[in-house]
Chain A
Amino acid sequence: EAGVAQSPRYKIIEKRQSVAFWCNPISGHATLYWYQQILGQGPKLLIQFQNNGVVDDSQLPKDRFSAERLKGVDSTLKIQPAKLEDSAVYLCASSLAGRGVNTGELFFGEGSRLTVL
């Protein structure tokens, strides 16, 4: 079974530029998550989708971050304009279950490492 795919693996940009990350979850997984993991910290949930609807984006900095999950499958996370503090690994995860119940096991991709200069 194919795992969660993410691209690009690495990205270096200058501040105020824009960047987009792509995620393809495991086939059949209803729920998709984007996490931000700053070096030395645990993953911070940015946004959670169930199918193509947003169920939690309370920690997403909406003035610069946006995310979409078209057709309830692939997802894109965009940052525009980027700041130095956005340097982090952006992890995508998916799970079978939905919100409000046991979310079950999250399957993570290997992440997209962003460096903002």
Chain B
Amino acid sequence: QKEVEQDPGPLSVPEGAIVSLNCTYSNSAFQYFMWYRQYSRKGPELLMYTYSSGNKEDGRFTAQVDKSSKYISLFIRDSQPSDSATYLCAVSNDMRFGAGTRLTVKP
């Protein structure tokens, strides 16, 4: 079993839609959870960072962690074409990444 599982998509939505991206993980010892965004031909960049369970909001982005079910989510409200990218979940302390979900937001 992989440490981090993520549906690779691809996912295509119209502009303005709410996007839900999800990952599951296997090791209950993980405490730090991150979402990275990767544009084509670029390195990943940190988007959201969450410690333990709960929600964290930053503008149009909300990250959720449910440690009881080992499930992490990223929600994007009012999605924009500039949000088109691959979204990678990552778990610390050993920085393993999920497969990444490719998102396309159509104008």
Contacts and interface: CB of A to CB of B under 8 A. Distances in A.
Contacts of B90: 106
Contact of B95 (A41, A45, A110): A45
A91 B34 CA distance: 18
Interface residues of B, number: 26
Interface size classification for chain A: 20 to 34
Given A91-B43, A102-B32, A108-B44, A42 B88 contact: yes
Contact of B93 (A4, A33, A103, A106): A103
Contacts of A109: 43
B97 A43 contact: yes
B35 to A, nearest CB: 12
B24 interface: no
A37 B92 CA distance: 18
B99 interface: yes
Contacts of B96: 45
B89 to A, nearest CB: 9
Interface string B75-103: 00000000000001010111111111000
A48 B95 CA distance: 10
CB-CB nearest 4 A-B residue pairs: A108-B43, A42-B97, A42-B99, A42-B100
26 contacts: A35-B97, A40-B8, A41-B99, A41-B100, A42-B6, A42-B98, A42-B99, A43-B97, A45-B94, A45-B95, A45-B97, A93-B43, A99-B94, A101-B93, A102-B31, A102-B92, A103-B93, A103-B95, A106-B44, A106-B95, A108-B44, A109-B43, A110-B41, A110-B43, A111-B42, A111-B43
Interface of A: 4, 33, 35, 40-45, 48, 56, 91, 93, 99-103, 105-106, 108-111
